[in-house]
Amino acid sequence: DRKAQQDKRPVQKQGEALGQKITGAVARVSAAGYGVIKSKDWGEVMWRQYELPTNLRSMQVSDPQKFQQEVQSRADYRRLKDMEGREVEAELYRLPDGQLRAWHVRPLEPDAVESG
């Protein structure tokens, strides 16, 4: 009945928060809003930094060149691109299908300013 309301564990939409931290370097990022952390202990773990509006997502297939131009002018993409190659720390959660994802990703360097 009301079991979903009783379960108050920290969860991102669906999936199970593991209460584990991951550190590693951002191996690569995508214009679609994803980044990949390469960690010694966990391998490669993906996270979503932002979600693109529907009009941009459909442009990714219909007009890839214009898509790249539009995305590169966005502040959220530039922030994500700036994280490439940097050491970061994040929290882990497991999706229902068993895949690991990261969230709450933040740079480890003290001079790095997290915005947004």
Mind listing the pLDDT tens digit for each residue in 21-70?
A: 999 999 999 999 999 999 999 999 999 999 999 999 999 999 999 999 99
pTM of the predicted protein model: 0.76
The CATH classification number of 3-107 equals 2.40.50
pLDDT band at 9 (very low <50, low <70, confident <90, very high): very low
| Gyration radius of the chain over CA positions | 16
Distance of CA 103 to the CA centre of its chain: 6
C-alpha triplet 18, 24, 88: angle, nearest 5°? 85
Mean pLDDT of 98-106: 94
Residue 101 near residue 93, CB atoms below 8 Å: yes
**Residue 95 pLDDT greater than 60, yes or no:** yes
**Residue 111 pLDDT greater than 90, yes or no:** no
pLDDT band at 5 (very low <50, low <70, confident <90, very high): very low
Digit-coded pLDDT (tens) for 61-79: 999 999 999 999 999 999 9
For helices 54-62 and 64-72, angle between their N-to-C axes, nearest 10 degrees: 140
Query: At 11, which amino acid appears?
Result: V
